Amino acid sequence: MATEPETAKAAVQALIYRAALLLDAEKFTDWLTLCAPDFTYRIETYSPEIRKRMTWLQHDVTGLRAMIEMLPRHNTDHGQLSRHVSVYTVEIEEGGSAAAAVSSFLCHRTMLDGINAHLDAGETQLFLAGKYYDRFRLDEARPLFIDRTVLLDTRRLDKGSHYPI
Amino acid sequence: MTADLSSYGNEALPFVDSRIYSDPALFEEELQKIWKKTWLATVHESELPEPLDFRTLTLAREPVVILRGSDGKVRAFLNVCPHRGNLIVRRPAGNLSAAEPSGTANHMTCMFHAWQFDGFGRCVDIPRQKQGYQDRLSKDDVRLTELPCTVAFGGFVWVSLDKGIMPLADFVGDAFALMREELETEPLDIFHYHKAVIRSNYKLWHDTNSEFYHDYMHYFNRATSMMQKGYFDRRYTAFPNGHCTVGSMEVKYDAYQGVGDRPLSFPGMPRNGWKMVDLFPGTTYNIRGSSLRVDTMTPLAPDCVMIEFRGIGLKRDTTEERARRIADHNSIWGPFGRNLHEDLLGITGQGVAMRPGTEPRRILHGRREDGTIHDEIGMRHFYGEWARRMGRSPSRPDEAAAAAAE
């Protein structure tokens, strides 16, 4: 992995966008190849109703892989999720072996079924808004995700989803 | 079984008319005859841990504020200013110790004209009262309307819009008998809250919580329960006033890839047990081993309902225990869980197929399996109470007062 800070920052940015494309394409197994074996993933939000930060999903790689492998056995609305990501900051840690990034995202859902498909299929709705708080390992041949916290602003998810965000 | 099946159309094959899920006039009648005349579980007491903590909500369109007073008692008031009818407390939750731009600390202040009320509902300030009202109005005339309110059954705050309502204990009866030890042995604590607004009728969600035949929709439940010993022995028990419970079994969570055993539990709860209490007209307590889920509903229209989901653990949980309970809860019941998404898709489809204006159809409630898990006795019992309150048969809802209270 190149150690020049600007090069490393560009590589981290590219990795975040690459992850979004793979998630959009529902290539979840390919998405996991961007992650280190010790990667951890969480979806969290703060509830002003109960005045607590909540965890809504938390997995390591083994847990994510199991979740992904079980998806075909579950009913879903087949909504297509697409993520619009803007990387706000990338900070290279001292020594250049790790990095942290903050990105804003909007996740849209283009509907297919699970509603009145005759009327609603093809409509795109805003599903989620929030931020990604990511950490990366840079001391290998390519940067790898080691942690992602999806911090949601959106708390009313209605039908919810089976997919990682 | 106390349901009046004579009000159910065809006793050999009970059904309801789909208009009970879609008719706007019936929906308005339900708000008046059911939702404004019953006890409703609202928030959990752990959402109001400190004096002057509050929560706001809506019951049958009426704005309500729930408040822990300076004396520690939880009370409920109509959240409507007696001056110009404005909403008083606007945030979903908070503490009154923070002053508002229009008012002073420790009071509920209507921001419109700065009328202020204390935690007992007393009006404590009317700006320029003497100049405007002379002696024609006193603060005592305009205290907030206090509603019947009781904390019970695992620390939930139960509220009624009916000042003449029967005691909560009489309304619930023995419906919590199978869950009493889990709920009453020690204090509970909320760890999860989320809500869903679904284009479907509220009763369809309660129906889903009242029948298990739909486990065919859930791979998770087929693998961990339906294929396991004891599933088809689970029994329904019906109680007066439309309530119903479902007995336990040992769920084999490790039969689903990626989900493990649930070593944590509640006092009195068998390891990996699963018990449910369905309360008329729309509250469900559901304990699966380590976590209690409580569903409450706010009907918004004949084809729209808001469902609130709470996850509850023990107040004394360690950090590690709480994390375990949250993970167990989320695996199937969180907004990204395996089962909840499927359940909500289920009633969304019903909402599409039975939207207002669609032709009346027969909706079968006719499975009979000796009161065991795929029997639809839970739904039939609910609609027995519905018929009694509405004075209508659910299978002939257009015949007004055809099935008056027995």
Is the same domain home to B196 and B272?
A: yes
Is the same domain home to B245 and B335?
A: yes
What was the pLDDT predicted at A47? 98
Position B6 confidence tier, pLDDT thresholds 50, 70, 90: low
Residue B2 pLDDT exceeds 60: no
Is the same domain home to B186 and B132?
A: no
What's the Cα-to-Cα distance from B99 to each of B114, B154, B375, rounded to whole Å? Answer: 12, 32, 55
Position B401 confidence tier, pLDDT thresholds 50, 70, 90: low
Is the same domain home to B199 and B335?
A: yes
Which tokens sit at B5?
A: 């099946």
Residues of chain A in Cβ contact (below 8 Å) with chain B: 43, 47-52, 54-58, 62-63, 65-67, 69-70, 73-77, 114-116, 155-163
> A5-152 is classed in which CATH architecture?
Roll (3.10)
Mean pLDDT of chain B: 95
Q: Is B155 inside a domain boundary?
A: no
pLDDT tens digits for range B40-70? 999 999 999 999 999 999 999 999 999 999 9
Please tell me the distance in Å from B265's CA to the nearest CA on chain A. Answer: 20
What was the pLDDT predicted at B404? 44
Beta-carbon separation of A159 and B91 below 8 A: no
Residue B402 pLDDT exceeds 80: no
Q: Please list every residue in chain B whose beta carbon sits closer than 8 Å to the beta carbon of residue A76.
A: 341-342, 345
Number of domains observed in the structure of chain B = 2
Is the same domain home to B245 and B353?
A: yes
Please tell me the distance in Å from B334's CA to the nearest CA on chain A. Answer: 6
Positions in chain A short of pLDDT 50 = 2
Q: Is B80 inside a domain boundary?
A: yes
pLDDT tens digits for range B89-142? 999 999 999 988 988 899 999 999 999 999 999 999 999 999 999 999 999 999
What was the pLDDT predicted at B162? 98
Q: Is B163 inside a domain boundary?
A: no
Q: Please list every residue in chain B whose beta carbon sits closer than 8 Å to the beta carbon of residue A57.
A: 330, 334, 336
pLDDT tens digits for range B230-277? 999 999 999 999 999 999 999 999 999 998 889 999 999 999 999 999
Q: What is the CATH number of the domain that holds B231?
A: 3.90.380.10
Report how far residue B33's alpha carbon sits from residue A16's, in angstroms, rounded to the nearest whole number: 55
Contact B291, B311 (CB under 8 A): yes
Is the same domain home to B190 and B128?
A: no
| Pairing, β A144-152 against β A35-47 | parallel
ipTM of the complex: 0.95
Is the same domain home to B239 and B325?
A: yes
Of B92, B326, B336, the CB nearest to A162: B336
Query: Which residue range is the domain that position B305 belongs to?
Result: 5-36+177-390
- Please give the single-letter amino acid code of residue B95: N
Secondary structure string (H, E, C) spanning B11-56: CCCCEEEHHHHCCHHHHHHHHHHHHCCCEEEEEEHHHCCCCCEEEE
Beta strands per DSSP E along B199-348? 236-239, 243-246, 274-279, 283-288, 291-301, 304-314
Is the same domain home to B340 and B359?
A: yes
